[in-house]
Amino acid sequence: MRVLGIDPGKTIGLCVYDTELRKVLDAAQVHSLSEARREITRMAFVDQFKAYAIERPRFYSKGGGEIADTLEQFGALWVACAGFGALMPAESVPTSPGAYRVQAGPVPVWALERRAVTAELSAHLDLQVKGDAGVWTALCDLHGGKGIADQKQTKKLPQGPLGALSGMSHARAALAVAYVAGRLEAR
């Protein structure tokens, strides 16, 4: 299954992950909702993904303007992916803590909080995954290990399954939600 992962924020990360091929097919980083919508449309046409996964922002103590902007972006991206009539994640029952699934026509839309991503990766690897660096390390480990999974294509070496994400930290975060949504969708 092909899943489009989206990481909202000041820089919006997008990543199409194929769960059967176990590799990134497409990735981008943009700086506005209009650019994100254009990339989503392009990726839908080129990559023909079958599910959306958006990182659902959450703050647990203090939140400032940046988190408020990210929450607003999440809402706009949710409507763009799920449609105006779809339930918001807070209106639905989570499938597991921090993981919400809404069926938007033929395409499921997942809202995944960071805790759902780290919990799924921790359970899958049978070790504690914490923070952005820990999530990236876990994803590399699941795809052949650092240096192999994230290998950029050169004249002598082929691109690794996650090599398309080289230099795109926000697209890496989008991969995390796409990967976990693919696992949850397969259950």
Superfamily of the domain at 2-186: Ribonuclease H-like superfamily/Ribonuclease H (3.30.420.10)
CB 175 within 8 A of CB 15: yes
> Tens digit of pLDDT for each residue in 142-158?
999 999 999 998 999 99
pLDDT interval class at 116 (50, 70, 90): very high
> Tens digit of pLDDT for each residue in 10-61?
999 999 999 999 999 999 999 999 999 999 999 999 999 999 999 999 876 6
The residue type found at 11 is: T
CB 181 within 8 A of CB 53: yes
Contacts of 34 (CB under 8 A, 6+ apart): none
Helix (H, G, I), strand (E, B) or coil at 130: coil
pLDDT at site 3: 98
pTM higher than 0.75: yes
The single residue listed with the structure tokens 């795809």 is 143
